[in-house]
Amino acid sequence: MNKTYRLKSSKAFEYIHRNGKSVADRNLVLIISPTKFNLKVGFSVSKKLGKAVVRNKVKRRLREGFRKMIPYLSNKYNYVIIARQPAKDCNYNQLLQSMKYLLAKVNVVTDTNAFNTVK
């Protein structure tokens, strides 16, 4: 994923946590917050999930899945995706389905037909 889409500062994460709207499923939590600027996304994977190898694998899968969805999402929001405990046992397709479900649930998808074909 391109660096221009990354949330970097802890202040940005805190702001989104405080002022954002959250939705969740078994594997992930999605928090969105409106912004005046372009789309940004941050990923949070706790040490409770496991050692660094496991956490990095989950983050790589989440980043790749979100990268493919960027063209179909609204640019007016910042996103934070938090991995829950069962995410460590999920494969890429399961995490992708969870992300699709959550993004559709908060109604930020611009082109639903093309969005559903993302693999």
Query: Coil, strand or helix: which one is 9?
Result: coil
Read off the pLDDT of residues 80-110 as tens digits, 9 standing for 90 and up: 999 999 999 999 999 999 999 999 999 888 8
Read off the pLDDT of residues 27-39 as tens digits, 9 standing for 90 and up: 999 999 999 988 9
Q: What is the DSSP string of 24-64?
A: E-SSEEEEEEE-SS--EEEEEE-GGG-SHHHHHHHHHHHHH
- The answer on pLDDT for 67 being more than 80 is yes
Read off the pLDDT of residues 20-63 as tens digits, 9 standing for 90 and up: 999 999 999 999 999 998 899 999 999 999 999 999 999 999 99
* Average pLDDT rounded to a whole number, residues 5-20: 92
- The answer on pLDDT for 114 being more than 80 is no
